[in-house]
Structure 1
Amino acid sequence: MPVFRLIAAALVLAVPAGPQPPVERPGPVPVIYDSDMDFDDASTLAYLCEEHKLGRVDLRAVTVANNGFGRPDRTLRHARSVLTQCGLPGVPVAAGAAGEGVHPAPPELVATIETVLSGALDDGALPPYESSVSAVDLIERTVERSKRRVTILATGPLTNVAAALARHGVAGRLGGIEIMGGALAVPGNLYGSALPGFDNSQEFNMWMDPVSARSVLRSARPGSVRLVPLDATAAVPITQDFVARLAADRQAPGARLVHAIVTQPDLKALIDLGIMYWWDALAAVSMVHEGIAEYRPARIDVVREGVQSGRTVVVADGYRVEAARGADGAAFEERFLDSLNGRR
């Protein structure tokens, strides 16, 4: 056989058939942040911006589930405001369709969140921000174009994530899915007009779209899901002591934005009642820094119907996750404050 044919045959044999997984290279982990742009989602986005500038994460995209606590016509504007004010205006944003999901967020809380974020971000007079792509398309495109496995941090209803995992090849190319959601051995946190008809065994994110939550657990690559439920977030209440520390230590845009959010009058009143927690921020900080939350293997499922619709249950034949059963509240506050201020 001529030499050039031998070389060609060797090259053909050396090239694997079909789509290949991303090549792992040194550097910060690529992250897609999917949320419903609540007050703590906006605070978490500010945190991720500072971690991006510190080189600990590579914030590739921000997507919003428009069936959560954010007002659908304002969520992308608020996300864009946080990114711009933190110095990352080029990060792409996109939203899912409004009205998807199962149980709508209480309208009284949606109105409160809008008042808080418009006041803190000073963007209430700005027009809605429009994206040229959907949230699901942006997730798929970001995963496909990355040379490294992408991690999704999800801190709202899992509607966008479930739809993205249904796209061919997305689940297998993800490095992990970090979820704030669920309540395993503690009561739920339903509130206000969400309570009638349910037994409050549910955490809000899972309750708003239990069908998508179960779909994510079923579709994700085995071993790739980590869950931060209310069992762990109980260790990180928002206290006025921490707000005072933040007021005295605002060296970077992230810290200044979070301080502006937690000092809005409507939110301050809820903090004073002792019912507000750093739910989403704990998931983000424990994603970036080891030792903040204590994870243990668990098999869980999500109830989809009845008075417990949205409840996360531990069952022998459930889907395998790593679940945070507790957290170090003091370590969280120190790391959160340092990172918000851009300190290594």
Structure 2
Amino acid sequence: MSNSFAVVTDIAEIARLNEQLARRLSTSFKVRRTREITYPAGHHTGTVYFESAAGTAVRAWSPDSGPDKLINFLLAGDPAASTWMQIDVQMNFPAGTYNRRMAGAFVTDESGDVLVAHRGKLTKGKAGLPKAKVFREFASRTVEADDHGLTSKIILISALDDPELADRLWKFAVEAREVATRIASEEDDSDADDDTPTAGGGGGRKPSSPPIDPVLKLRDYFDEYAGEGNLKGHGGGKRTVEHGDVVKALELQLGANGRSQKAQAIDLAIVASQVDLFEVKTSARTTDVYTGVGQLLIHGECIRELLELPVRRHLVLPAPPRAGHGKHVTKKGGISIVTYEKNVAGYTFSGLV
């Protein structure tokens, strides 16, 4: 069985999947309004479908089409207001002729499931943001996919047939705006640094310490599910999306115990007088257990040296590993095993200390 992702590139199939997406959304977004919609390239008067008829931040969807694209704007606002609405995220797909300029994409995984995805094209104001930084912030859901003979990085959002499709799309929209704000702030800080004298110039700064490996650089946690970078063939589309849900639920439960942080290669770190380091896997297969143990051992030592704090390591799985493996993981590896179970409210965890 192939373990790769592939972008849907057939124009007729893209149109069919976009119609399927519209049918799914139209069951929840029924309150029709005419509003002025604004975005970096301009504004236009369009039809907006709200999820309910009253509220100040009601989720909304505005579909449209043009000669070269199928448009899906994700927004939020007051259905009763007349103010202009700014889009949160564009989920547009190519029409007429296939191209990669659109932000949205449909992707198939090794099981043949179709997922809605994003190409990492975000803007702040009129400026496009560096894709590398966007993918960094969505690392746990970023995969490499075959894209009409090329390899493209894609952020997986939701399976097209997922009952929680709308929730996942609008959560992504909120996350994307937060990410855009954060990256734009980084870019502004970087521009300010450009005018600072460097070593070698007259009166330059003292040489800085060697840079921290960027995949291990801890940052404040936010709900975008960052974790291990996922390359072509990682696990499967639905598992990749689930990974982020589990990390988020874990942070919500443990965030009060210390400062929640993350890194590109670290799912979650709770930093207090010690560091609780968590690695989440969406299967308890032997290969996933081996990988998780290795990551915790190596990353744990790096974090211990970096922060000069003791580190406790936790491997989070949907089920216990094989008995023999579990015994050695806990006794020899010093790693606690935490299991999770999905329920109506989200996820419950067993084995947290």
TM-score bin (small chain)? under 0.3
More strand by share: 2
What TM-score, normalized by structure 2, do the two folds share?
0.23
The structure, 1 or 2, with the larger RCO (C-alpha pairs under 8 Å, 6+ apart) is 1
Larger-gyration structure (1/2)? 2
What TM-score, normalized by structure 1, do the two folds share?
0.23
More helix by share: 1
